[in-house]
Amino acid sequence: MEKSDIIVVSRDRGEKGNYVKPFIKGLQYTLGNFFKKPITVQYPDQKTCRSERWRGLHKLNVDEKGELKCVACGLCAAVCPSQAITIVAREEIGGTRHPETFEINELRCIFCGFCQEACPKGAISLTKVYEYVDYSREDFVFDISKLRTTGEKWNC
Ligand code: SF4
Ligand code: SF4
């Protein structure tokens, strides 16, 4: 390497004692905010509300008799870009249809909301629930019973 290629990098440390001013400025800022109302919350005991457009975990809705509104038409599964929904339909004697099984793999889901938009019965909706941690991948496959109760204890 020629002498002209050497780049000398030096750090200007400034005058001795230059840290006092920034230290006092920082201290002023800290003290100024110390007595203000905190903008943070004590999560998970306290939760902030999500925006109206927030899309969280799914919920299967029921009618006034407590029956699932879903008629197992399969539109939600057909429109789902992630193929996260699996439905097995059951046809009753009168011709009415119900889901025998209805599963959503929440790990595959991209929370686009297409299933909710496609449903002709208002049977599926996306809640504001964003807490979904568990120990195994299988636990993220929500069945009918889990989908019925999603968001029950959620206040926001
Ligand atoms: S939100 Fe989108 S990706 Fe998730 S299940 Fe519904 S359609 Fe599929
Ligand atoms: S949730 Fe709605 S779109 Fe999906 S199968 Fe049931 S009725 Fe059809």
Tell me the ligand closest to 60's alpha carbon.
2
Q: What is the mean pLDDT of residues 150-155?
A: 72
The CATH number assigned to the domain holding 111 equals 3.30.70.3270
Q: Which residue has the tokens 């799914």?
A: 58
Q: Is residue 32 part of a domain?
A: no
Count of domains for the chain: 1
Does the beta carbon of 129 lie inside 6 Å of ligand 1?
A: no
Q: Is residue 65 part of a domain?
A: yes
- Closest residue CA from atom 8 of ligand 2: 73
List pLDDT tens digits, range 97-145. 999 999 999 999 999 999 999 999 999 999 999 888 899 999 999 999 9
pTM value is: 0.77
Q: Is residue 2 part of a domain?
A: no
Q: Is residue 10 part of a domain?
A: no
Q: What is the pLDDT of residue 38?
A: 86
Does residue 14 carry a pLDDT above 60? no
Distance from the alpha carbon of residue 56 to the mean position of ligand 1, in angstroms: 10
Q: Is residue 41 part of a domain?
A: no
Which residues neighbour 101 within 8 Å (Cβ) at sequence distance 6 or greater?
86, 87, 88, 143, 144
Q: What is the mean pLDDT of residues 68-73?
A: 96
Does the beta carbon of 113 lie inside 6 Å of ligand 1?
A: yes
Does the beta carbon of 147 lie inside 6 Å of ligand 1?
A: no
Q: How confident is the model at residue 49 (pLDDT cuts 50, 70, 90)?
A: confident
Q: Is residue 26 part of a domain?
A: no
Distance between CA atoms of 36 and 34, rounded to whole angstroms?
A: 6
From the alpha carbon of 104, which atom of ligand 1 is closest? 5
- Express as a percent the part of the chain with pLDDT over 90: 62
Q: Is residue 88 part of a domain?
A: yes
Q: Report the half-sphere exposure of 52 (CA within 13 A, side-chain side).
A: 0
Between 6 and 142, name the one with better pLDDT: 142
Tell me the ligand closest to 63's alpha carbon.
2
Distance from the alpha carbon of residue 108 to the mean position of ligand 1, in angstroms: 8
Q: What is the mean pLDDT of residues 51-79?
A: 95
Q: Is residue 52 part of a domain?
A: no
> Which residue from 121, 126, 142 has its CB within 8 A of the most atoms of ligand 2, so it is best to mutate?
121
Distance from the alpha carbon of residue 78 to the mean position of ligand 2, in angstroms: 10
Residue whose C-alpha is closest to residue 129's, from 111, 150, 107: 150
The range of the structural domain enclosing residue 84 comes to: 58-149
Q: Which residue has the tokens 């005058």?
A: 15
115: its two tokens: 């299933």
